[in-house]
Amino acid sequence: MTIRIDKALIAEQNDKLLSDLQEDYQALGNKLARSDINIDEITAKAEQFEIAVPSWGTGTGGTRFARFPGVGEPRNIFEKLEDSAVINDLSQCTGRVSPHFPWDKVDDFTELKQFSDELGLRWDSINSNTFQDQPGQEHSFKYGSLSNTSAASRELAIQHNLDCIEWGKTLGSKTLTVWVGDGSNHPGQQHFQHAFERYLDSMKKIYAGLPADWEMHIEHKMFEPAFYSTVIQDWGSNILAAMELGEQAKSLVDLGHHAPNVNIEMIVSRLIQFKKLGGFHFNDSKYGDDDLDSGSLHPYQQFLIFNELVDAEYRNQEGFNPNYMLDQSHNVTDPIESLINSAASVQRSYVGALLVDRSKLTEYQNSNDALMASNTLKAAFNTDVSPILAMARYKKGGAIDPIATYRSAGYRSAVAVKRPNSGGNGSGIV
């Protein structure tokens, strides 16, 4: 039987916090009104904000050294969905789940769709996986998948992506996300151009199987598992591939997949300009693809990305409809808490960016007033929008304080009883 957070408990916890929230909301509303901002309009936008949860993020992650399984972690896609429902019940902005195949493969996708419907969840982008071999796999991906020198391995990788599209159709998804770890560890190991040609050739075959109302999102990553060169290592290779494939192919930006100090918000702007921004995998990092909780280290970078996104939204930029998703590895926290916190952190960046005085910013940019342009962004970033986020959750039936409510519900210990420690969650080290 599915365990949910009791609605009565959410209401009871909210009752204790509501009058303080109303006071804080009123105070923030008065402050924003002085800048001609209507707080209720901002809250209405916050209510519409959605970010998907990665199915694999609900399990405990690990490093290449070890994985320490969490208590009561989900053992299959049905249990991952149960946890996702809890996250959404409390946060009210994570109604979609992004699956990863074959990790989440089931025999009966109609049954899976029925189960997600019952939980009130929808399906986000389908992630294919050709970065590891499956048991008994006939042709290995050890030396790459879509760009492998072996035609048989390439065919297998192409077919897997086509299968993902079929499974996604049953689930009601509209996007296929393709990330490959193909690359090399030694200078000279791989002919750069030929590997990219083979990749494009394979991708064209997948693209040909894409339904007309689907998009294909290409995800680049600078390094890992390949440590010398990676076929789709940067946004340059990414957009080139997306342009070569056609309109339905777009680039996906995972925040942890760039060289250190790269200006990600500017990459976002370029992709928006050329109608190639497909979506995001949000996370944070200090050294590499650390997959830390969103906004835990660089909240200003996250805000600056949303500054570009909100700017495009307000300009009604053609072809602008990016998909937001978290892609994190939770090694030392309860994944449910991390995902709730991270979704709220990304939502905070969105709401903060809505507060930027854009006409003033344009004036300062045009008059080359660098200091005031920067201060205009900082004024929005430094505004504590917590009351707006809490009010948006409350109005949608979520928790004013989702972490506290989750902890008082005792969900983790309740599911631990029916989910004995498996030692693994099927997703390996993510």
Whether 84 and 94 have beta carbons less than 8 Å apart is answered as yes
Closest to ligand PSV by CB, 59 or 95: 59
Question: 127 is in the binding site of which of ligand PSV, Mn ion, none (Cβ under 5 to 8 A by kind)?
Answer: ligand PSV
Contacting ligand PSV (CB under 6 A), which of 89, 254, 290, 334?
A: 254
CB of 17 to ligand PSV, least distance (A): 36
124 binds Mn ion (CB under 5 A): no
Look up residue 27 and give its two tokens.
């105070």
Q: Which stretch, 24-32, 81-89, 246-254, 385-393, contacts Mn ion (CB under 5 A)?
A: 246-254
Alpha-carbon gap, residue 102 to 127, rounded angstroms: 9
Q: Which is nearer to ligand PSV, 257 or 412 (CB)?
A: 257
Q: Establish if 289 lies at the interface with ligand PSV (CB under 6 A).
A: yes
Q: Does 82 bind ligand PSV (CB under 6 A)?
A: no
Backbone angles phi, psi at 381, to 5 degrees: -60, -40
**DSSP letters for 80-142:** HHHHHHHHHHHHSS--EEE-EETTT--S-HHHHHHHHHHTT-EE-PEEE--SSPPTT-SS--T
The DSSP symbol for 64 reads S
In whole angstroms, the minimum distance from the beta carbon of 127 to Mn ion comes to: 8
Q: Give the largest CA-CA distance in the chain.
A: 67
Q: Using the minimum distance from each CB to ligand PSV, give the nearer residue, 190 or 329.
A: 329
CA count, 13 A, side-chain hemisphere, 249? 21
Question: Quick one: which segment of 278-286, 335-343, 375-383, 410-418 binds Mn ion (CB under 5 A)?
Answer: 278-286
336 and 87 Cβ atoms separated by less than 8 Å: yes
Q: Which 108-167 residues touch ligand PSV, going by CB under 6 A?
A: 127
Residue of 47, 313, 327, 337 that binds ligand PSV (CB under 6 A): 327
Q: Is 83 in the site for Mn ion (CB under 5 A)?
A: no
Q: Which of 281, 330, 348, 393 binds Mn ion (CB under 5 A)?
A: 281
Question: Judging by beta carbons within 10 Å of its beta carbon (0-12, 13-18, 19+), is residue 78 exposed, middle or buried?
Answer: middle
- Which one of residues 49, 101, 179, 235 is an interface residue with ligand PSV (CB under 6 A)? 179
Question: What mask, x for binding ligand PSV by CB under 6 A, covers residues 33 to 72?
Answer: -----------------------x----------------
Minimum separation from the CB atom of position 268 to ligand PSV (A)? 17
Q: Which is nearer to ligand PSV, 79 or 289 (CB)?
A: 289
Q: Is residue 430 a contact point for ligand PSV (CB under 6 A)?
A: yes
173: its two tokens = 């998804």
We find the least distance from the C-beta atom of residue 327 to ligand PSV, in angstroms, to be 5
Closest distance between Mn ion and the C-beta of residue 254, in Å?
A: 4
Rounded Cα gap, residues 39 and 16, in angstroms: 23
Nearest C-alpha neighbor of 230 from the set 157, 307, 144:
144
Gap between the Cα atoms of 271 and 192, Å rounded:
24
Among 281, 348, 393, 412, binds ligand PSV (CB under 6 A): 281
| Exposure class string for 236-252: b at 16+ Cβ within 10 A, else e | ebbbbbbeebeebbbbb
Interaction of residue 82 with Mn ion, rule CB under 5 A: no
Question: In whole angstroms, what is the distance from residue 407 CA to residue 256 CA?
Answer: 29
Contact at 8 Å (CB) between 321 and 272? no
Contact between 284 and ligand PSV per CB under 6 A: no
- One-letter amino acid for residue 254 of the chain: D
> Given the rule CB under 6 A, which residues bind ligand PSV?
56, 127, 179, 219, 221, 254, 281, 289, 327, 430
